[in-house]
């Protein structure tokens, strides 16, 4: 299977640097809608058989243009949601952002028993994300290509950890802008290989926002430096 994990388009919380992970979540900004509209053309060379999104509003809004272009529906899938911020929900201060990112980094390094303050531990994240990907894979033939719109920290951690050819520390070192892409090939039983990482928006750099405080999509040092 070819799995295209796409980060959602920009939201107001991405602009302000808020750790916005709870349901239903923020909608898209005007730029976020433009980023979503650019996805179908950017993926014109991919034979996408299914379009999935997390239960949060922003991923479904991002997935809709691609699904409509393909004549498909958006399949909302539990488990694809963002790494929950727990007690840091909607916080923008440096201390909270640093603690959130350090917890994600610890999970990447194998300390999955570490708990996000006020939230879950790494085992719970991997169990629910793995289950979501397994359910998606089970719904398609082995050589299918599927697109799943998910979230910045979740994609960075899962793709970097499950990609057998990737150093797990890259989970917090790689940038993933809104509508950036991680493409993996494989299956839940044999494992996955990361074959493409596109940091910038699928529609190109004209759709980036250089002044947003996008803490769940930026490398660790930049995210904490920009936190307010």
Encode 128-174 in three state secondary structure: HHHHHHHHHHHCCCCCCEEEEEECHHHHHHHHHHHECCCCHHHHCCC
**pLDDT tens for residues 95-153?**
999 999 999 999 999 999 999 999 999 999 999 999 999 999 999 999 999 999 999 99
**pLDDT tens for residues 68-100?**
999 999 999 999 999 999 999 999 999 999 999
Q: Please count the other Cβ atoms lying within 10 Å of the Cβ belonging to residue 46.
A: 15
Which segments within 62-131 are labelled E, that is strand?
74-76
Q: Torsion over CA of 74, 43, 162 and 205, rounded to 10 degrees?
A: -110
Give the catalytic positions in this structure: 8, 82
How is the chain split into domains, by residue range? 2-226
Architecture per CATH, domain 2-226, reads as: 3-Layer(aba) Sandwich (3.40)
> What's the pTM?
0.95
């Amino acid at each position: 299977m070819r799995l295209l994990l796409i980060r959602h388009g920009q939201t107001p919380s991405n602009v302000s640097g808020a750790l916005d992970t709870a349901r239903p979540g923020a909608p898209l900004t005007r730029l976020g809608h433009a980023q979503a509209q650019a996805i179908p053309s950017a993926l014109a060379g991919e034979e996408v058989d299914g379009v999935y999104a997390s239960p949060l509003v922003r991923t479904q809004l991002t997935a809709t243009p691609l699904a409509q272009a393909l004549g498909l529906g958006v399949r909302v899938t539990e488990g694809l949601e963002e790494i929950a911020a727990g007690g840091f929900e909607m916080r923008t201060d440096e201390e909270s952002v640093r603690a959130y990112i350090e917890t994600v980094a610890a999970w990447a390094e194998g300390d999955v028993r570490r708990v996000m303050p006020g939230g879950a531990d790494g085992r719970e994240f991997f169990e629910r994300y793995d289950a979501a990907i397994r359910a998606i894979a089970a719904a398609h033939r082995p050589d299918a290509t599927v697109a799943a719109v998910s979230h910045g920290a979740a994609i960075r951690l899962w793709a970097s950890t499950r990609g057998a050819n990737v150093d797990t520390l890259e989970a917090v070192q790689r940038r993933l802008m809104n509508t950036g892409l991680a493409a993996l090939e494989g299956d839940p039983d044999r494992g996955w290989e990361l074959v493409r990482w596109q940091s910038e928006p699928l529609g190109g750099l004209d759709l980036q926002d250089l002044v947003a405080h996008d803490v769940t999509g930026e490398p660790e040092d930049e995210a904490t430096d920009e936190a307010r």
